[in-house]
Amino acid sequence: MQQTLKASIHCNGVGLHSGARTTLRLHPADVDCGIRFRRNGATILARHDHVVATRMCTTVGDGNGVSIGTVEHLMAALAGCGIDNAIIEIDGPEVPVMDGSAEPFVFLIDCAGVVSQSAARRYLQVLTTVSIEDGERSISIRPGEGLTIGCNIDFADEAVGKQSISIGVDADSFKSEIMRARTFGFEHEIEALRAAGLARGGSLDNAVVISGGKVLNVEGLRYEDECVRHKVLDTLGDLYLAGGPILGRVDCRRAGHELHLRLVSQLLARPGATRWVTAEEALAMPACPRAEVGRRLSVAAG
């Protein structure tokens, strides 16, 4: 069934790029509402066709000058916690970065509580493979059991280097393997980012900062491969802009927000590449081996 929050809840924080201090309020919403952002009287459905920028973060907008940046970590928390319907009210230009991960948003959702609603959840089931190649970067999605996200990254700094991971995403794996991974950046890029109006709220409190083969944060890393796990978190949040949870297997190589969103748009634009199904329908007409679909869906529902 679809789910929403049991009660409203809020938090305050600074935006990673704008540095603006904002209050974020999460409210329950009706069946089939989806995730909607509200700012300055505008309401913006959190969907791929309302994405207005993908540089360094994912920004949604109403097309009339009202936008909200860095939605991806909050979207990942909503996806990971199985929240289908919510109103997200914000009084500034960017979702607060909190500690750079999705964990503080999951904490908020857990504090508010989650309720089951009166209509069945609809999943976007992938039926055919869609791939995008862009130089050294690529992304693809194909039919698969539940949602699996695989990411590969390759950075010159040896504190990151080459990392790869593949995670079958469900409520448990999201909390244990993904949600605590923080955003990361390189010290030598900070000045240029700030000159471009980015990373102005960034600090060692909300990002892993890397320089000369070392992690500068005194507390160290939360996972040995925290950077690639954060890529999984970003991918999950961006994919949720499809308008619902995806059933498929995604593989990302050096991808980022722009490729994630191009994939979602192409997937939905291609005739016959997907269908919207309830869990029951997915079990009755699997696009992949039946036993696997059943296992993943039962975990996701639990």
Binding site for Zn ion (CB under 5 A): 183, 234
Decide if 69 contacts 15 (C-beta within 8 A).
Answer: yes
Instruction: Please name which of 18, 15, 78 lies closest in space to residue 242, comparing C-alpha atoms.
Output: 78
**CA angle in degrees (0–180, nearest 5) for 133-174-146:** 60
Q: Which two tokens stand for residue 120?
A: 């069945």
Instruction: Please name which of 6, 172, 206 lies closest in space to residue 95, comparing C-alpha atoms.
Output: 206
Nearer to Zn ion among residue 145 and residue 238 (C-beta):
238
**CA angle in degrees (0–180, nearest 5) for 299-165-283:** 30
Residue 260 CA to its chain's centroid (Å) = 10
H-only helix segments in the chain: 72-80, 103-112, 171-173, 187-195, 226-239, 257-269, 279-284, 290-301
Nearer to Zn ion among residue 128 and residue 152 (C-beta):
152
Nearer to Zn ion among residue 44 and residue 57 (C-beta):
57
C-alpha 110/C-alpha 81 separation (Å) is 9
Spatial CB neighbours of 141, under 8 Å, sequence gap ≥ 6: 126, 129, 130, 131, 246, 248, 249, 250, 251, 263, 267
Paired with 162 in beta bridges are 154
Helix (H) or strand (E) holding 286: none
The distance of closest approach from Cβ of residue 16 to Zn ion in the complex, given in angstroms and rounded to an integer, is 8
The distance of closest approach from Cβ of residue 117 to Zn ion in the complex, given in angstroms and rounded to an integer, is 29
Spatial CB neighbours of 122, under 8 Å, sequence gap ≥ 6: 244, 276, 277, 278
Nearer to Zn ion among residue 109 and residue 151 (C-beta):
151
Helix, strand, or coil here: 287?
coil
The distance of closest approach from Cβ of residue 261 to Zn ion in the complex, given in angstroms and rounded to an integer, is 14
C-alpha 171/C-alpha 190 separation (Å) is 34
The distance of closest approach from Cβ of residue 58 to Zn ion in the complex, given in angstroms and rounded to an integer, is 9
Nearer to Zn ion among residue 127 and residue 167 (C-beta):
167
Catalytic residue annotation = 257
